[in-house]
Structure 1
Amino acid sequence: MSSKNEVSVVGAGLMGTGIAHGFAVAGCDVLLIDPAQGALDKALKSIGKLLDEGVSRGKLAEADAQAAKARITTATTLDERLANAALLVETAVENIEIKHTILKDAAALLPSTAFLATNTSALSISEIASVIDTPGRVIGMHFFNPVPKMKLVEIIRGLETSDEALVQAIDWVKRLGKDHIVVNEAPGFTTSRMSAMMGNEAMYMLAEGVASAEDIDKSLRMAFNHPMGPLELGDLTGWDTRLRVLQYLHGVMGEKFRPCPLIIKMVKAGRHGRKVGRGVYEYDENGAKVPGSGLRAVR
């Protein structure tokens, strides 16, 4: 039987780290799972830093921060500890085969009352859910980076998603202190579809020499009041992730989502974004953007 207070998060990257942090602060016992021990160690360090910053800003009591740290345990494999989880959130790379493996293995260990959520930003919830015998308990819960700061969670219903799974997902989001929208599954949902097109067009403009990277981003920030420009956002999201989303959307929705060749070139060059210190811009060891480092037109 699952405990309403236990959550498992699969994947200790940026998204998994933020999601684990959120559930721990909300009072949940969190099992963070990743095959790489180094990723788990990095995640725990990042979560500790986030909690300490919350204390220093007066957003969190010291005792609450220490309690949240104590609620998080880690594992390098899916194991019998999933038997008490009420929710599993999968945050693996945007690859359907990897997600299928995780959900199939997890479903065999989770109690029948537990729900499975995928943090995919574009892939089909119905297809992800098809690998288990009870697809009705699979739902999309698309968080946004950085998770501690972003207030929205996009909840996506697949073809088989049950009404109970939807109710439970909304309850979990409220417990995290976040807001939500509900989307009936469609390629790219709402946010990824709009963001992918905007970022792709911005890269075409950069490649064509329409304006500098800095000015393209400045236009969105100052003319439309966006908190960051499309190229800055792509650096934050990761151009490898953005490319996979565009390739998927191009395959199912056609030419308007054809990836800009500059994105493909950047990914091949290893310029994945802020997480590796260079994307459209370059970043210092503290993750701050280096002034004047934006890519120039590539013809």
Structure 2
Amino acid sequence: MSATNEIVMGQLPKYSGVLGGGRMGAGIAHALLTSGSTVVVVERDEASAQAAYERVAESVDKSIARGVVCESKDELMQRFSVSTDYEQFATAQLVIEAVPEIWDLKVSSLQAVEQVLDAEAVLASNTSSLSVSGLAKELARPGKFLGLHFFNPVPASTLIEVVIGEQTDKNLVDASRSWVQALGKTAVVVNDAPGFASSRLGVAIALEAMRMVEEGVASAEDIDNAMVLGYKHPTGPLKTTDIVGLDVRLGIAEYLHETLGDRFAPPQILRDMVAEGKLGRKSGQGFYSW
């Protein structure tokens, strides 16, 4: 890595990349871009890459309309690009993987990115539940790998969970904290464990809320209102599940069930809704109609 491309602790990397340009990946790219980084998103095909470009452009428009960024759209988009070529990550100092929560896909994607990265570059996963230490064992440079778990919607969320694997270089903790601060967000640092802190707690509440709907205790709306008004949650657990995606929540619950036991067993209502294609906001129907 040249001197001009060296990672400077305390500053957001000048060049960064995101693998996967879906809702989460585009949100991560937007956060990096509007905080001053030059960003490339790599997708699996041209159509997906173009869709990612449009998502980020739309998000930039919203930020400009709200007056939360100082640069013009032209200035911002000059620092943003999309591609289908992993080689575009060669100059990146930080690459964040944001592909679906499928173990084999995560591993193959991370390995492909690592092959083109500079030896000093940092690779991170946006996984919300999979073992960071386990993923690191599949990589050639596990010390340069950690979890950076963003929350949906990324532009509005103020939290990033920094997940430290067993082999993560300790100096990456301070570096990651500074990057999160540069993004205008707050870091919580957790050691690698199933579901980390946020997913484990969030899924536990959501699964119990689903069981309450299943048992006829109350409607989804009233259960959510109880948490919003009684416990000051910004969004209830069932509406949050719709936003995250019922299929995503099911995958996390199955993993936590396998690793932590029966208290995370997915309720039948969740399995049935996913089988019926009721995935939440992205499908138009979940616990709510969208």
For the criterion TM > 0.5, the same-fold answer is yes
* Equivalent residue for 1:126, pick from 133, 140, 156: 133
Deviations 1:96-144 (A, max 9, x none): 1111111111111000000110000011001111111210111000000
Kindly indicate whether the alpha-carbon contact (under 8 Å) linking 1:118 and 1:140 is maintained by their aligned counterparts in 2.
yes
* Equivalent residue for 1:221, pick from 228, 234, 243: 228
Kindly indicate whether the alpha-carbon contact (under 8 Å) linking 1:135 and 1:160 is maintained by their aligned counterparts in 2.
yes
Which residue is equivalent to 2:8?
Answer: none
**Match status 1:16 vs 2:21:** no
CA distance in 2, matches of 1:46, 1:85: 21
Kindly indicate whether the alpha-carbon contact (under 8 Å) linking 1:217 and 1:232 is maintained by their aligned counterparts in 2.
yes
Kindly indicate whether the alpha-carbon contact (under 8 Å) linking 1:18 and 1:146 is maintained by their aligned counterparts in 2.
yes
**Match status 1:28 vs 2:41:** no
Q: Percent identity?
A: 37
Q: Which runs of 5+ in 2 are unaligned?
A: 6-12
Q: Which runs of 5+ in 1 are unaligned?
A: 284-299
Which residue is equivalent to 1:73?
Answer: 81
Which residue is equivalent to 1:157?
Answer: 164
* Equivalent residue for 1:135, pick from 137, 142, 160: 142
Aligned length: 281
Which residue is equivalent to 2:184?
Answer: 177
CA distance in 2, matches of 1:142, 1:211: 32
Which residue is equivalent to 1:294?
Answer: none
SS at match of 1:145: coil
CA distance in 2, matches of 1:9, 1:58: 25
Which residue is equivalent to 1:52?
Answer: 61
Which residue is equivalent to 2:96?
Answer: 89
Q: Which moved more, 1:97-106 or 1:47-56?
A: 47-56
Residue type of the alignment partner of 1:278: Q
Normalising by structure 1, we get a TM-score of 0.91
Residue type of the alignment partner of 1:22: A
Residue type of the alignment partner of 2:149: H
CA distance in 1, matches of 2:121, 2:178: 14
CA distance in 2, matches of 1:88, 1:60: 23
Normalising by structure 2, we get a TM-score of 0.93
CA distance in 1, matches of 2:49, 2:83: 8
Kindly indicate whether the alpha-carbon contact (under 8 Å) linking 2:129 and 2:199 is maintained by their aligned counterparts in 1.
yes
SS at match of 2:16: strand
Which residue is equivalent to 2:275?
Answer: 268
* Equivalent residue for 2:286, pick from 256, 279, 284: 279
Q: Which moved more, 1:2-11 or 1:266-275?
A: 2-11
**Match status 1:201 vs 2:214:** no
Residue type of the alignment partner of 1:36: D
Deviations 1:21-59 (A, max 9, x none): 011111111110110333322222222222222222222
SS at match of 2:189: strand
**Match status 1:117 vs 2:117:** no
Q: CA deviation at 1:151?
A: 0.7
CA distance in 2, matches of 1:253, 1:57: 43
